[in-house]
A and B are shown apart, each in its own frame.
Chain A
Amino acid sequence: NAGVTQTPKFQVLKTGQSMTLQCAQDMNHEYMSWYRQDPGMGLRLIHYSVGAGITDQGEVPNGYNVSRSTTEDFPLRLLSAAPSQTSVYFCASSYSILAGGPAGELFFGEGSRLTVL
């Protein structure tokens, strides 16, 4: 049982480059989300999705795009990387609370450390 899988685990980019962080889950979770973790600031929500074809912005969406074409995958795209996007990124998923799933528990991937030079 793989759970939530993120790739790559480490990435170094130059300013202005683009890249996609991949996230896949095999638990048939409706809800998926992306967080970034910065020292002293906890984790902050970037974007989230409550199901295939539906996405919405979180606290810090600027500079990031997402799409949700399937239930399993939720990629995060950086179109033009900036040094301020140096961070550790976490993908998380959960059952839909509306569907009566376990109340609120998020399952996290192992994180992706991104450095933008």
Chain B
Amino acid sequence: AQTVTQSQPEMSVQEAETVTLSCTYDTSESNYYLFWYKQPPSRQMILVIRQEAYKQQNATENRFSVNFQKAAKSFSLKISDSQLGDTAMYFCAFMKRVTGKLIFGQGTTLQVKP
């Protein structure tokens, strides 16, 4: 069975600085996707970034980028130039390809301070 672990329950960062959220996962699969979802206080789940396991290049979306280390089964999220609107809970998630089923980590609460 796949597991996803986020070892940082809470983090904080000053506005405009950079922060990295950690995620590790365990799987015997070779074909899968990894995601970071953001959940602001509104409770809405918002996709931040997606990585396909067969792609060696790290995904980027504007201020958000990942460091995907397949051999180490590590998938960290870097947020550059942090903004107050980035304050949210962030979930790392794993999906075995073709299944559509997400396995979530426990979440990291990020607070961006002015």
A interface residues (Cβ-Cβ under 8 A, vs B): 31, 33, 35, 40-45, 48, 50, 58, 88, 90, 92, 94, 96-98, 103-106, 108, 110-111
* Complex partner residue of B100 from A41, A42, A50, A108, CB under 8 angstroms: A50
Chain B contacts of A58 at CB under 8 A?
101
Q: Residues of B with Cβ closer than 8 Å to A?
A: 4, 9, 33, 35, 42-45, 47, 50, 52, 91, 95, 97-98, 100-107
In-complex Cβ contact of A104 among B4, B50, B107 (8 A): B50
Chain A residue numbers with a CB within 8 Å of B4 are 42
Closest 8 CB pairs of A and B: A42-B104, A108-B45, A104-B33, A31-B100, A43-B104, A111-B43, A42-B106, A104-B95
B47 pairs with A45, CB closer than 8 A: no
**A56 to B, closest residue via Cβ:** B101
Number of A-B contacts (CB under 8 A): 61
7 contacts between A and B (CB under 8 A): A40-B106, A42-B107, A58-B101, A94-B100, A104-B33, A111-B44, A111-B45
CB of A47 to closest CB in B, whole Å: 11
Give A42 to B107 CA distance when docked, in angstroms.
6
A8 and B97 alpha carbons, distance in the complex (Å): 32
